[in-house]
Amino acid sequence: MSAELAPDTILAVEDLKTWFSTRRMTAKAVDGVTFSLKRGETVAVVGESGSGKSVTSLSIMGLLAKPGAVAGGRMLFRDRQGAVHDLARLSPRQYRALRGREIAMIFQEPMTSLNPLYTIGDQIAEMVRLHEPVSREEARKRALEMLQRVEIPAAASRLDDYPHQMSGGMRQRVMIAMALACSPALLIADEPTTALDVTIQSQILDLLRRLQAEFGMSILFITHNLGVVAEIAHEVVVMYAGRVVEQGPVGPLFANPRHPYTSGLLACMPDAGRDRAADGTRKALTSIPGSVPPITALPPGCAFAPRCDHRIEACEAAVPALGAIGQSHYSRCIRSAEL
């Protein structure tokens, strides 16, 4: 089985379909997403709310809430022993053994993601004891070590603190400490800095980058913030209405976006210098008009067409294919060659 996954690849998501089916309708929240993630690298999945990026990450974690379910595709994952698993076909018990130990996750809301009733030391130690046969004292020692590695000042004295005694940035550090406690092969970070102050944001990104170098884990980074992507990602996957619209290495994709949605997102990034006209007056902020269509009512053609400045008649006829436009750079736009 391992032959199907290139040796330096940790995760290969192939044609993933995650659907939310009720008796009356099916919402294709993720529809045919393909990307892969190399050891020690970071892939950023980018998109607006409703694009399917969080559902993608929850599909990989196996934490979809009903009625959501993986309806097709494969998610090949290589654990630290080199064994390859198709996450789409794991039993709940097999999934539990991987979750936390091999694939860990941090979330958007550090204020609510920790249990308010247990000390942070207990919550980190719990992660260790769930997956490794260690004593209580040993687990506590590991928790302390992790707190030091995520650079919490006076870590020993914070071990018995409760989450409400810490700031948002500190709690996100605790979440990271907990996620990395068993040194997983893959860390899924679902908008980990969105809820934080800008100064704290860059501290957390720096920390993640340093820890990635130390632990050698791969990171799947979910965000809507392209500024963050530029700082941390090697590869970018841009999602729109459940589909990948453009993907490629971060440099070429930022320098030469080939899908109008990506160009639009890039144009929306506020830039203190660029937003001033020559005479110093403030220019209006750029935005993409309209919003992501509901996934239950997608147009027959390109899902972005209704909001697109470059729309032609052919756009509305059929969903464009994801076409190669450069070295591992793909775009789902019939006009990508001219743009």
Partner 1 sequence: MLRSVFNRLIGMAIVMAIVVTVVFIIVRITPGDPAAVMLGPEATAADIAALRDRLGLDDPLPVQFGAYVLDLLRGDLGTSIFLNIPVTEALAQRAEPTFFLTLFSLLIATVIALPVGVLSAYWRGSIFDQMATTLAMFAASVPSFWLGLLLIQFFAVRLGWFDTSGYGGPGAGFFERMHHLVLPAVALGVVSSALITRFTRASMLDVLGDDYVRTARSKGMGEARVVIKHAFKNALIPVLTVIGLTAALLVSGAIVTETVFGLPGVGSLIVSAVLRRDYPVIQGALLVVAGLYVLINFVIDMLYLAVDPRVRF
Enumerate binding residues for partner 1 (CB under 8 A). 61, 63, 95-101, 104-105, 107, 109, 112-117, 126-127, 130-131, 162, 164, 175, 178
From 22, 3, 52, select the one nearest 242 (Cα to Cα).
Answer: 52
Side chain identity at residue 256, one-letter code: N
Least distance between partner 1 and beta carbon 178 (Å): 7
Least distance between partner 1 and beta carbon 221 (Å): 16
Cβ proximity to partner 1: between 130 and 266 the closer is 130
Cβ proximity to partner 1: between 87 and 105 the closer is 105
Cβ proximity to partner 1: between 26 and 165 the closer is 165
b/e 308-318 (16+ beta carbons within 10 angstroms → b): bebbeeebeee
Least distance between partner 1 and beta carbon 73 (Å): 21
b/e 34-65 (16+ beta carbons within 10 angstroms → b): bbbbbebbbbbbbbbebbbbbbbbbbbbbebe
Least distance between partner 1 and beta carbon 153 (Å): 21
How far apart (Å, rounded) are the C-alpha atoms in residues 277 and 302?
Answer: 34
Least distance between partner 1 and beta carbon 100 (Å): 3
47 contacts 70 by C-beta, under 8 angstroms = no
Give the contacts of 102 (CB within 8 A, at least 6 positions apart). Answer: 77, 79, 80, 182, 184, 185, 186
Side chain identity at residue 40, one-letter code: G
Cβ proximity to partner 1: between 90 and 230 the closer is 90
Cβ proximity to partner 1: between 136 and 276 the closer is 136
